[in-house]
Copies of this chain bind each other. A is one copy, B any other.
Amino acid sequence: MPERMPKELEPAGGNGLLHRRLFLKGGAAALGAGSLGLMTAAQAKERPPWMRAPGRALSGYGSRSPYEDHVQRRPLSAKGTDGAGGSWTPLEALEGMITPNPLHFERHHSGIPNIDPGRHRLLIHGLVKRDLFFDMDALSRYPMVSRTQFIECSGNSYLAGLPEQPVNATCGELHGLVACSEWTGVPLSILLDEAGVDPAAQWILAEGADAAAMSRSVPLAKAMDDALLAIYQNGERLRPDNGYPVRLFLPGYEGNMSVKWLRRIKVTAAPAMTRDETAKYSDLMPDGRTLLFTFPMDVKSVITSPAPGLELAGPGLYQISGMAWSGLGRIAKVEVSADRGATWAEAALSEPVLDKAVTRFRMAWRWNGSPSVIMSRAMDETGATQPTRDALIAAKGRKFAYHYNAIQAWGIDGAGHVANVYA
């Protein structure tokens, strides 16, 4: 037994939730999750085989452990294609705020173009005083900024809640069209200022250099506010699956507007009404109308551990860990329930909590081994809060596919198996 029974181990919510001060410095004592007692000290001191001979060589470009090869995105493509679809980030295998580049989700409309950066050009034209062309060398000489922010496909998560019966899939397969990176690039406003925007302009059209020429209209106000021409992601040059050599990045807006492989920006008076903003990326409402131009992604959270794809090894202490984000600003609060929403307790937020970034939240939980339902709900600095699934369906029906942000419930059975449930 511990010398002191600290306040941290007092319940903060029903069914075993412990107070978040457990995550603060000096706040923990005597959790007892890890003292296995399965070995003697002599056995533990014995040298394992990998200490008996020199290890592998230094290298120019590192790779991960073969024991982690199973951590993969899940690609899913339209029939007859291998590049028109998406691949989902395995959220349940990851931690922290940053998504590693090889596991950042994908969404392509006609595969990944293999662009020679030496031949790539970006054109700015339309309602401007002078057309501008940039090659990558020229673009890279402009002042840059770095920002750690999420990007989320507007079609993320609807399969987790809209079907009649809960879909049986991993956390990443249900919610993995979201990722967070440090983006570095040139503010678009600098280049638009240089081109000289006509007072009649209200929109821009951004077009990618893929075979689909994927294009979206963006309000000029957003383009002049915080839009970036992103060249680096998490320190290195963008990868082809994220728009190499340059993409548009629109913080907080639905992912496909952050046009990859950016080749053209046309300044316009009105939205272009492209296929990608009319036939797609629009939402049919119960009254028969369609929502267009729903740009910011709503406040959302999901518990990534425990979550489907992971198993609980038996009763005892666990860390509940998850991600929260909002296209409207910073996350203000995340609450967690371990008793199907009867009681809620506030989770610890990992600092720094950044504007339009993924915020990692954590909570300690002493699971007693009985069937349980765990949930999280996030609130952002504007006061927006995640709706329940019932409330979201009451408001938007079941025929929409974008901007699904309801509270996610995970059911844990007595054997420690975790599944998507409606609660």
- Decide if A56 touches B235 in the complex (CB within 8 Å): no
Known A-B contacts A52-B211, A143-B23; A58 and B75 likewise in contact (beta carbons under 8 Å)? yes
CB distance from A403 to the nearest CB of B (A): 23
Q: Give the docked Cα–Cα distance between A102 and B102 (Å).
A: 11
Known A-B contacts A50-B113, A100-B236, A352-B352; A60 and B34 likewise in contact (beta carbons under 8 Å)? no
The majority secondary structure among interface residues of chain A is: loop
Q: Which residue of B lies closest to A191 (CB)?
A: B34
CB distance from A348 to the nearest CB of B (A): 8
Q: Give the docked Cα–Cα distance between A160 and B99 (Å).
A: 34
Of B123, B146, B352, which is within 8 A of A41 by CB?
B123
Q: Give the docked Cα–Cα distance between A41 and B67 (Å).
A: 52
- Decide if B95 touches A50 in the complex (CB within 8 Å): no
Whether A35 sits at the interface, judged by CB under 8 Å, is yes
Q: Give the docked Cα–Cα distance between A48 and B113 (Å).
A: 10
B residues less than 8 Å from A141 (CB atoms): 33-34, 316-319
B residues less than 8 Å from A3 (CB atoms): 196
- Decide if A87 touches B58 in the complex (CB within 8 Å): yes
- Decide if A57 touches B111 in the complex (CB within 8 Å): yes
B residues less than 8 Å from A95 (CB atoms): 144, 146, 184, 231-232, 235
CB distance from A334 to the nearest CB of B (A): 15
- Decide if B125 touches A210 in the complex (CB within 8 Å): no
Whether A390 sits at the interface, judged by CB under 8 Å, is no
Which parts of A251-289 form the interface with B (CB within 8 Å)?
263-264
Contact residue range for chain A?
35 or more
B residues less than 8 Å from A196 (CB atoms): 3
CB distance from A129 to the nearest CB of B (A): 9
* Binary B-proximity of A11-50 (CB < 8 A = 1, otherwise 0): 0000000000011011011111111111101001101101
- Decide if A96 touches B184 in the complex (CB within 8 Å): yes
Known A-B contacts A60-B74, A96-B184, A182-B97; A132 and B35 likewise in contact (beta carbons under 8 Å)? yes
* Binary B-proximity of A55-73 (CB < 8 A = 1, otherwise 0): 1111111111111100111
Whether A423 sits at the interface, judged by CB under 8 Å, is no
Q: Which of A114-122, A163-171, A374-382, A412-420 contacts B (4 or more CB under 8 A)?
A: A114-122
Of B23, B194, B211, which is within 8 A of A54 by CB?
B211
Q: Which residue of B lies closest to A179 (CB)?
A: B235
Q: Give the docked Cα–Cα distance between A28 and B76 (Å).
A: 43
B residues less than 8 Å from A354 (CB atoms): 352
Whether A145 sits at the interface, judged by CB under 8 Å, is yes
Of B32, B113, B225, B245, which is within 8 A of A194 by CB?
B32
Whether A321 sits at the interface, judged by CB under 8 Å, is yes
Whether A104 sits at the interface, judged by CB under 8 Å, is yes
Q: Which residue of B lies closest to A353 (CB)?
A: B352
Of B28, B41, B210, which is within 8 A of A193 by CB?
B28
Q: A35-B132, A62-B241 known; 18 other A-B pairs, CB under 8 Å?
A: A22-B143, A34-B138, A34-B139, A36-B135, A44-B121, A53-B211, A56-B114, A57-B83, A60-B72, A61-B73, A65-B115, A65-B239, A67-B118, A68-B237, A93-B237, A95-B146, A95-B235, A96-B232
- Could you write out 6 A-B pairs with CB less than 8 Å apart? A34-B134, A55-B110, A55-B210, A57-B111, A67-B117, A95-B232
Interface pairs A-B: 7 shortest CB-CB: A55-B111, A60-B72, A50-B113, A58-B75, A34-B138, A57-B82, A44-B123
